Amino acid sequence: MKIDLSFTLNGSPINTSVAVDRRLVDLLRDELDLTGTKIGCEEGECGACTVLVDGQAVNSCLFPAPEVDGKHVITIEGLGESDNRLSELQQAFVDQGGIQCGFCSPGMILSARALLNENPNPSQDEIREALGGNLCRCTGYVQIVDSIQTAAARENSDD
């Protein structure tokens, strides 16, 4: 059974219909061709599929697609600046080495975005707590935490 769905994706309106049991991650990757959102475990443990729904970080592998109706969804593809520049947060990951294989990065960056939206000046511990649901097998997290602290400092100085 399919149902109609209207939501905002990375700032643009989307009108589509999806099967009622479709997961948000499949809608994004398979139907809307946004492969920046990754799949790592399909049970909400690794966070590779993290996207923002109305500003909250959610695991899109556990999130029913029909539930984004009327909501705002942000994926990694929607995080850059309008003129093709990286956002401060993305740039900080580039500068501080927060990227290795990069497969956890989209989810990691979106979890960081949700944190910084709530708490523009998080401590080390608060960052590590907020990333608790995002696994990275390459970096050991140190440069990821550095990246987020750097982004926070830059964003605060821009204000």
Partner 1 sequence: MKCTVVGKRVERKDARAKVTGETIYPSDRSREGMLWVVAVRAAHPHARILSIDTERAAAAAGVVRVLTARDVPGENAFGIQFHDMPVLCSDRVRYLGDVVALVGAESRRAARQAAALVAVDYQPLALLTDPEQALDPATPALHPGGNILHEVHFHKGNISVGFQKSAVIVERSYQLPMMDHAFLETEAGLSYFDENDVLCVESCGQYIYRDRKQIASVLGLAEEKIRVSAEMVGGAFGGKDDITVQIQLALMTYVTGRPAKMVASREESIVAHSKRHPASMWFKTGASKSGKLMAVEARFLSDTGAYASLGGPVLNLMAEHAAGPYLVPHVKVDGHVVYTNNGFSGAFRGFGCTQACVGIESQMDLMARALRRDPLAFRQANVLHQGDAAGLGYEMKTAVGAEPTIRAARAGKLYRQRRRIKKDRTHVSPSLAPFIRRGVGVASQMQGLGLGVGIEDQAEVEVVLGPGGAVRVKVGTTEIGQGAYTAYAQMTAERLGVPLEQVEIVGADTGTCPDSGATTASRTTYAVGNAILLAIAKLEQRRSAWAAQGTGRENLSARANFTVPTQDRQLGDGLPHLLYSYGTHVVLVEVNTLTGEISVEAVEAYLDGGRVVSPLGFEGQSEGGIAQGIGYTLFEEVLLDRGRFLNTNFDTYILPSSKDVPTAIHTVPIEVMEKSGPLGAKGISETCTVGVAPAILNALEDAIGIRFVRLPVRAEDVILAREESPHES
Site for partner 1, rule CB under 8 A: 29, 34-43, 45-46, 48, 75-77, 79-80, 86, 90-91, 93-97, 99-106, 109, 124, 127-129, 131-145
Q: How far is the CB of 117 from partner 1 (least distance, A)?
A: 18
C-alpha span between 91 and 38 (Å, rounded): 20
Residue 136 main-chain phi, psi, to 5 deg = -130, 130
Closest CA to 130 of 72, 25, 57: 57
Q: How far is the CB of 58 from partner 1 (least distance, A)?
A: 17
Q: How far is the CB of 128 from partner 1 (least distance, A)?
A: 4
Question: CA geometry: angle at 42 spanning 21 and 115, to 5°?
Answer: 100
- For residues 68 and 111, which CB has a smaller minimum distance to partner 1 in the complex? 111
- For residues 24 and 131, which CB has a smaller minimum distance to partner 1 in the complex? 131
- For residues 6 and 17, which CB has a smaller minimum distance to partner 1 in the complex? 17
- For residues 60 and 134, which CB has a smaller minimum distance to partner 1 in the complex? 134
Closest CA to 108 of 82, 147, 62: 147
Dihedral sign for Cα atoms in the order 22, 26, 32, 34? positive
- For residues 60 and 96, which CB has a smaller minimum distance to partner 1 in the complex? 96
Q: How far is the CB of 71 from partner 1 (least distance, A)?
A: 20
Collect all residues with Cβ–Cβ distance below 8 Å to 154 and sequence separation of at least 6. Answer: 88, 91, 92
Q: How far is the CB of 63 from partner 1 (least distance, A)?
A: 18
